[in-house]
Structure 1
């Protein structure tokens, strides 16, 4: 069994627990997720099944989109609603104009310090393990990109004002840190109170299915109806269709050359090779292009 299964992850489960549940439902050993979602976060969690697990790294590199809620009035050690309160104000006074001005400052490429309670490693240990033990966690800042940041709803006439928004961002972006930092810009402690991932790479919430639906489909022998082909994970890679004779070269891990007529390919660019029937055979990388011929070498070859 090979392909991509898009799960609508429920709140209250870790991403690894979802993987374990799907392994049991499908009766397979090779299942991997493509980007951790915290237990309190729901939404799109693509799972790679079988040989498709080798495509997970490409999905990790792709952008993500979320529907989020920021609450003003107090901040927490985890920067979300699950943490311990570390700062609180008795009264919040803020205008819509001030909030919109603060949001505008976080569009584009920004510098972000990952939260102490994160899965990042420090000298081989998870940051959240160190933080839970009371150790000081100092993670270096990194550059991330916010492609879109749009306020969808404001709830300001209450004790703890809330801002609901959607965000599209690069890999490695922490939305809870974004909420915390927006609060810092406003001079008001803040935390992320809700988060739903609405898209991961090419996979959207509309494509996602609950674990109950997947379980029922598997029990009825209809799981193929929900399994997407591996090629969907790398649909943004240029596609080259090869003949059966060329496919034998591919499966032997040999270099492949293609006509460059009407196509410009950069050295290092990835392409995908498919059979005439649409089966993903391999991922190749361009090593040279002289304007007439594109020469490529294999990066990942999938079994016939």
Structure 2
């Protein structure tokens, strides 16, 4: 059983909890997720099963889309609603929609982020949240991420003098911390802030409308139709260019041989290799021999 289960992760479970549940339901150990979602976050979580586990790193690299709610007026130690409040400030007057839209556009493109202390980023071999739980704040290396688009979705709602909220949609690169983005947006508006809610609506080519809940997966399992929920492995690689080969090259690809660079220009490196629409392998340019390409992952044909 090979393919990708487009799961709608519920609140209250870690991504690893979801993997454990799917292993039991599909009765296989070869299961992996494609991008961690915090327990309090719900949304699209593609689960790779069988041979699809080979493409986890490639699907993890794809762009993601989120709908976030930001709370202006209070900052928390975790940068989300789960942490203790460490700073608060009265807003004083209604935030102008035009000002918010202008600030949001200033974050589109390449931006630098400092990972939050409550995160799994490792510094000196230790996860940041481990330092945070010891009451330590340490220097963290900045990372550059890409914000492809950032759109205001709602009017500003006043909850209290220190809690004004609005929602936005963001499409971004791997490694973007939406919590940190909310904090930085708040700073740009002149106030402390945190992320009060988050939903992931898209990962690569998988959208909310394509997903299945655990209830649906469990029902399909009872009817022995759970394999019908799986998307083909190639759907998780739609962001890679494709080289279609003939029957002769197919055999060489399936044996994992190095090949000469295709005459067909390819826009991505690595790229997919297919025969009659069937995914055979992922290849990339040879690091030392410019005239050759080499296999990265080879898939067994049914």
Fold shared by both chains (TM-score > 0.5)? yes
User: What do the CA deviations read for 1:30-64 (whole angstroms, capped 9, x no partner)?
Assistant: 11111100111100001111111110111111111
Contact 2:115 2:180 survives alignment (8 Å): yes
Shift of 1:255: 2.0
Alignment of 1:128-139 (within 5 A): 128-139=129-140
Q: Deviations over 1:216-245 (max 9, x none)?
A: 111211112210111111123222333444
TM-score, with structure 1 as normaliser: 0.91
Question: Residues 34 and 46 of structure 1 are in contact (CA less than 8 Å); yes or no, is this contact kept in structure 2?
Answer: yes
**Cα shift readout 1:107-141 (whole Å, capped 9, x = no counterpart):** 11111111111111122221112211212232111
Rounded Cα–Cα distance in structure 1 between residues aligned with 2:186 and 2:140: 20
1:32-43 → structure 2 map (5 Å cutoff): 32-43=32-43
Task: Go from structure 1 to structure 2 and tell me whether the alpha carbon gap of 1:85 and 1:269 turns closer, same or farther (over 3 Å shift).
Answer: same
CA distance in 2, matches of 1:229, 1:91: 50
d(CA) in 1 for partners of 2:79, 2:299: 41
Q: Which piece of structure 1 moves more, 233-242 or 105-114? A: 233-242
Show structure 1 runs of 5+ residues with no match.
Answer: 289-293
Tell me if 1:48 matches 2:48.
yes
TM-score of the superposed pair, with normalisation by structure 2? 0.92
Q: Which position in structure 2 is the counterpart of 1:26? A: 26
Whether the 8 Å CA contact 2:97–2:156 is kept in 1: the answer is no
Q: Residues 5-26 of structure 1, C-alpha deviation per residue, up to 9 Å, x if partnerless?
A: 1100001111110111111111
- Comparing 221-230 with 153-162, greater Cα deviation is found at 153-162
| Equivalent position of 1:100 in the other structure | 101
1:1-304 equivalences under 5 Å are 1-93=1-93, 94-159=95-160, 160-257=163-260, 260=263, 263-265=264-266, 269-276=269-276, 278-287=277-286, 295-304=292-301
C-alpha displacement at 1:202, in angstroms?
Answer: 1.0
Give the alignment's Cα RMSD to 1 decimal: 2.0
CA distance in 1, matches of 2:213, 2:47: 13
Native 8 Å contact 1:265 1:286 kept in 2: no
Gaps of 5+ in 2: none
